[in-house]
Structures are given as structure tokens and as C-alpha cells.
Amino acid sequence: MHAEADDALQLYFCYLVSEKRVADHTSTNYQRDLKRFQSFCNVQELRLWQQVQDRDVRNYIAGRHKNGIGSKTIQRELAALRSFYRFLLKTKQVAHNPAQHVQAPKVSKRLPHVLDVDQMMGMLNATPDSVLEIRDLAMFELFYSSGLRLSELVMLDLLDIDFSEGFLRVRFGKGGKQRQLPIGKKALDALKVWLANRPGSGQAVFVSLQGRRLSQRSVQLRLDRWGKKNGIAEHLHPHMLRHSFASHLLEASKDIRAVQELLGHSNISTTQIYTHLDFQHLAAVYDQAHPRSRKA
């Protein structure tokens, strides 16, 4: 492409960081996505951004899909293109946004993997044998008790927990939203044991032996280690405990609105995936129990 097109791209990258203040990984992804699209334009002999038409974007997306690129990645690439062209429109460098009405292939909804109740109980009833494992058990109890996201757990401070009422406050939820969540008795007990052994004097609930707030990566590694130690064959990750919390609660209560509120989902359609899990469970019971369901 023409040097003018390169200059527009660099200005946009600066705009992302200085004015939009996007996260580093978002900026990196957008830069990579747009440079890839620029290479496509070079092959198509499109020298300026204003020469790109809707059909060019569609051809690019079709090519990516044909090459086996996943729907989520393509959606992000389209988001990068739309954002870039909004910037070009704002700075009067183009007259229209060729990516605005181009749709990505539909994402196939994969059901989240959950542990069954017996697996959860076995994992959480194991006895810790060190200060670190006392901390770990408190973290895992809290994941399952309150359905926290990983980012929400590591950002918890002591002031966020009300032991007398059995509640915690999430101050750093997705999209900056706050919510209040109940804490189960087992999780409260595990927290109290941890806080009696917790090193340091900072505000973070979950810290290292040096008293520093735990990173998300540390929690992931400790959970996987705990699972392997306690007989869980599959790879465990924090979101699996959140999924298990939601699935088990919905299965017992049938109250999808309450589960939505507890998970902090803005849209109930996000929560509805757990109704599919519940149906799968019912279907499995039916297949095992109903005399007319068995295949010959």
C-alpha cells in the first residue's frame, strides 16, 4: 500500500493507546490483525484505505474462514477493521466503513465443562498439609461458593468480605460492574483458617508467602496442582469451578434469573447455556432409567 496508508495505520495505533487507552493485548491483537489485512490489500493492489470496498472485506473474511481460522478470531479481526475505519471516518480520511455490515461466521456454542457434585466434594474435602494449601483451599471454596471470576478473586481485599453477614463485595467485575454475593459456610470457615495463617499486612485477601497479591497465573497453576494431587484426571482451570457453581445451582433451584445475577451476566442469554447443561443431565438420567429409551 501507499506510504499514506502506512501513516494512517500508525496514527490509529497511537490513538488506540493514547486516547482509547485499550489494554496492551487488545492493541497488540489489533495491530497484528490490521497488518494482516494490509498484506491482503497489497496482493489485491489496493493502495489506499478509501479504495477498500465491502466486497474486499467479505473476500478477506471468506479466505480466513476457508483457511480454518476460528469464528472468534474472525470476529475480533472484523472488530479491529470496524474500529480502524471509524477512526478514518472521524479523521475524514474515508467516506464509508466497508467492514460495518460484514458478518463473521457464527460461533458454534461449546458447552462449558463442569465437574459433577461428587468430584467437587472430593476435591474440596481434601485436607491441606501446608500454609499454601490452606490458602489454596480457601480460594477454591470461594470460587465454588460464590461463582467468582478469576480476576474478581485475585482483586478481593479484606474490606470486601463481611464475615458477620456472610457476604462479599465484587468491586472489579466485568465491565466495571459491582455486585454483592453470599459466601457459603464451608468457604467462610476456609477463609477464616487462611486469614489466621496469612502472611503480611496488606489488604489483598490472597497473597504469596512474601505477602504479595497473587497473580491470576499463580492461581491457575495452584488449582491444576491441587486437582492432580486429589485425583482429578483432567486439567482444572478456575472458570471450571465457576461453571460448576452455576450448573449445580441452576440444577437445584431452576432459577435462571438468580443465577444470572450471581454470575454478573449482563444478558440472560449468556446464562442460558447452563440450561443446556441441565437438560443434558436430565437426558442422561432418562436414557439410563426409562425402559423405552434404550436402543435395541
148 closest CA partner among 168, 122, 134, 131: 168
Q: Which domains does the chain have, with CATH numbers?
A: 3-91 (1.10.150.130), 117-289 (1.10.443.10)
Q: Catalytic residue positions? A: 149, 174, 239, 242, 265, 274
What integer pLDDT is reported at residue 275 of this predicted model? 63
Q: Are 169 and 155 in contact (CB under 8 A)?
A: no
What integer pLDDT is reported at residue 296 of this predicted model? 47
Q: Which long-range contacts (CB under 8 A, 24 or more apart) does 189-192 make?
A: 190/134, 190/137, 190/138, 190/141, 190/142, 191/138, 191/141, 191/142, 191/161, 191/163, 192/163
pLDDT tens track, the chain, 296 positions = 678 888 888 999 998 888 878 777 888 889 999 999 999 999 999 889 999 999 999 999 999 988 888 888 898 999 999 999 999 999 999 999 999 988 877 765 565 677 888 888 888 999 999 999 999 999 999 998 888 889 899 999 999 999 998 888 988 777 677 888 888 899 999 999 999 999 988 999 999 999 999 999 999 999 999 999 988 878 888 888 888 888 887 777 777 777 777 777 777 666 666 666 555 554 554 466 545 455 54
